[in-house]
Amino acid sequence: MKKKVAIGLFISAFILFSMNGEFRGATGDTVDFGWFSLVPPVVSIILAFISKDVIISLFFGIFAGGFILHLADGSIFYAIVQSFLSIVDYTLNSLADPWNAGIILQVLTIGGLIALMTKMGGAKAIANALSKKAKGPISAQIITWILGILLFFDDYANSLIVGPVMRPVTDEKKVSREKLSFIVDATAAPIAGIALISTWVGYEVGLIKDGYEAIGQEVNAYSIFVETIPYRFYNILMLLFVLATAIFLREFGPMLTAERRARKYDQTNEAEINPNASNEIDEMEPAEGIHLSIWNAIVPISTLIGVAIVGFYVNGYQAILTGEDTALINSLKESPFSFTSIQEAFGASDASIVLFQAALLASIVAMTMGVWQKIFTWGKAVETWINGMKSLIITGAILLLAWSLSEIITDLGTAQFLVSLLSDSMPAFLLPSVIFILGSIISFATGTSYGTMGILMPLTIPLAAALSPDPEFIVMSAGAVLTGAIFGDHCSPISDTTILSSMGAGVNHMEHVKTQIPYAMLVGSIAVLFGFIPVGLGMPIGIVLPFSMIITVLAVYFFGKPIEEKK
């Protein structure tokens, strides 16, 4: 009830505030909305804190933007009506964009592919093969980490597969459920966010593309995405942090207590498992009575990766040949398979189309394998594929709303206003750190990194371009958005991957959150102090990244204490 009252009061205050707004006329028919251009992202952020629901937050952010746009043209009642119509218009425009449509299809298709591989037992077979190699606590944790890395293509699949499969192994080797859930969570979004092919890449590439268009630059967004990877300090350092804690067998904070307890007692209390876990995990279980084979995962995934690589080259090659760069066309024809030609072709490719094509062909391969092995019929295969898509419907909704918010922010001139407001008042070197911290706060409040990226990316790229003419500065600022969103999501108790990780590992959810937050905070602090601030000051990433990795390993060794207490 208090939440509803707070939302009602906030919306009422927003309407009253907007009614008193005066917009300055500019040249022609354009309007300078000034501070009111900040209304959509501010409404989305504040509602995210109040409602903890990114769908609601993005929806009302778009509504607020439409309200401001139309308030300049008529009465408040006209503005309210047009605001609702604007939500429909902006959403339809977002869906009608071929790039956006390709991204949604790609994400849904990969969701269907994951369901097929799971039903065929391929994912579980790989996990079982790895689990047999565990000889003690160190190897059990490292194998869990490796399995999480191998399931790079989707964070949900990681959370729902790794935990249940490795739980008996880590229980046997006296590794706490809290540590298992941490490893699962730390290799879910962090690896999916930087993987070259995943359910994340299309969305991240799309946001980068829109951000550069806002400053009038036509770039290959996929190439920029690849360039941001070294600047994803939190993702990279968290993956390293997990490995270091496993190798050194050193922990600190609540995790140390949990690990020492696990070494002494059998604390596998199944009553603590999330009551919703059984249904989710059952859906991820292979078909009954089938022979588990690792090839049921290796072949579809290899198809996905192989077709994508070939597709990037072919798609980019065709795009260059139909372009106007004569010198590049001649170079490509003369040496089609030289390193430069391959690099240019990959750079000119359309990731949304290629990844959708690759995922679709990989899905057909998986269906064919399943039918040939009599695991399911063609009808059941299609049904499984569609059910896999259903798990990512919410992702599609977030994508459409985030794109719509980005478009309305562009129409209001929010980025230009922020640029004029902050370009002379903020030291340029601080921007990546500030963006990282702001992204972590928003994603912590909403429990989702997708919505956070959608709110911040359209603002960050224009602001970075205004603060510094260095193209690398824009890249590192975009990387700060993408990794900061994951940091906050990793800490958030309402994050879907946080919930799925604790559920899959069979541990009390808040125990998982309590033991994980100190680790995330430490890695996040290292990312700012030894990552974003130095690169913001101009230090080369080739020095900053290795140094921050060394600091992370030393932090584990010196902050952590041995699991086995000295007698």
Amino acid at 373: Q
Average pLDDT value for the chain: 81
Write down the residue that tokens 């059941």 correspond to: 380
The more confidently predicted of residues 121 and 344 is 121
Per-residue pLDDT tens digits for 105-150: 887 888 888 889 888 888 778 767 766 787 889 999 999 999 889 8
Q: How far apart are CA 383 and CA 61, in angstroms?
A: 36
Q: How far apart are CA 183 and CA 519, in angstroms?
A: 11
Q: Find the distance separating the first CA and the last CA of the chain, reported in whole Å.
A: 54
In three-state secondary structure terms, 485 is helix
Q: How far apart are CA 320 and CA 314, in angstroms?
A: 10
Write down the residue that tokens 């170079």 correspond to: 331
Write down the residue that tokens 């601080």 correspond to: 430
Q: How far apart are CA 277 and CA 160, in angstroms?
A: 9
Specify the range with the lowest mean pLDDT, choosing from 3-7, 44-48, 142-146, 550-554. 3-7
| Crossing angle for the helix pair 339-348 and 326-334, to the nearest 10 degrees | 130
Q: In this predicted structure, what is the pLDDT of residue 566?
A: 53
Band (pLDDT 50/70/90 cuts) for residue 2 is low
Q: How much is the pTM?
A: 0.71
DSSP 232: -
Amino acid at 437: I
87 pLDDT more than 70: yes
Closest-CA residue to 473 (of 429, 417, 421, 414): 429
- The CA angle 278-283-284, to the nearest 5 degrees, is 100
Q: If you average pLDDT over residues 4-25, what whole number do you get?
A: 52
Q: How far apart are CA 273 and CA 291, in angstroms?
A: 28
C-alpha pair distances (Å), 549 with each of 236, 350, 488, 533: 8, 33, 20, 15
Phi-psi region of 561 (alpha: psi -120 to 50; beta: other; left: phi over 0): beta
425-458 burial, b for 16+ CB within 10 Å, e for fewer? eeebbebbbbbbbbbbbbbbbbbbbbbbbbbbbb
Q: In this predicted structure, what is the pLDDT of residue 474?
A: 93
Q: Residue 278's CB: how many other CB atoms inside 10 A?
A: 11
What are the residues whose beta carbons fall under 8 Å from the beta carbon of 187, sequence distance 6 or more? 144, 145, 148, 149, 151, 158, 162, 239, 242
Per-residue pLDDT tens digits for 269-315: 544 433 334 344 445 567 667 788 889 988 998 898 788 888 888 88
Q: How far apart are CA 394 and CA 310, in angstroms?
A: 30
Helices (H) and strands (E) in the chain, counts: 29, 4
Strand partners, 561: 251
Find out whether 23 and 34 touch, Cβ atoms under 8 Å.
Answer: yes
Q: In this predicted structure, what is the pLDDT of residue 293?
A: 87
Q: How far apart are CA 458 and CA 445, in angstroms?
A: 20
| Per-range mean pLDDT, top range of 248-262, 305-319, 392-406 | 248-262
What are the residues whose beta carbons fall under 8 Å from the beta carbon of 513, sequence distance 6 or more? 491, 493, 498, 502
Q: In this predicted structure, what is the pLDDT of residue 343?
A: 66
Q: Dihedral (C-alpha) 244, 247, 251, 257: value to the nearest 10 degrees?
A: 150
DSSP letters, 336-368, are TTSHHHHHHHHHHS-HHHHHHHHHHHHHHHHHH
Q: In this predicted structure, what is the pLDDT of residue 513?
A: 86
Write down the residue that tokens 């790794």 correspond to: 162
341 pLDDT more than 80: no
| Per-range mean pLDDT, top range of 73-77, 254-258, 306-310 | 254-258
233 pLDDT more than 50: yes
Q: How far apart are CA 291 and CA 286, in angstroms?
A: 10
Q: If you average pLDDT over residues 424-449, what whole number do you get?
A: 81
Tokens found for residue 15 = 């309407």
Q: If you average pLDDT over residues 231-258, what whole number do you get?
A: 95
Q: HEC profile for 425-482?
A: CCCHHHHHHHHHHHHHHHHHHHCCHHHHHHHHHHHHHHHHHHHCCCHHHHHHHHHHHH
Find out whether 549 and 241 touch, Cβ atoms under 8 Å.
Answer: no
Q: Residue 6's CB: how many other CB atoms inside 10 A?
A: 15
- The CA angle 234-240-243, to the nearest 5 degrees, is 140
171 pLDDT more than 80: yes
DSSP 250: E
Specify the range with the lowest mean pLDDT, choosing from 47-51, 106-110, 219-223. 47-51
Distance from CA of residue 315 to its chain's centroid? 25
538 pLDDT more than 60: yes
Per-residue pLDDT tens digits for 454-509: 888 888 898 888 888 889 999 999 999 999 999 988 888 767 778 778 877 888 87
Distance from CA of residue 154 to its chain's centroid? 9
Q: If you average pLDDT over residues 43-70, what whole number do you get?
A: 78
Tokens found for residue 86 = 């604007």
Band (pLDDT 50/70/90 cuts) for residue 542 is very high
Specify the range with the lowest mean pLDDT, choosing from 242-251, 345-354, 513-522. 345-354
Q: Residue 408's CB: how many other CB atoms inside 10 A?
A: 27
DSSP 528: I
Band (pLDDT 50/70/90 cuts) for residue 20 is low
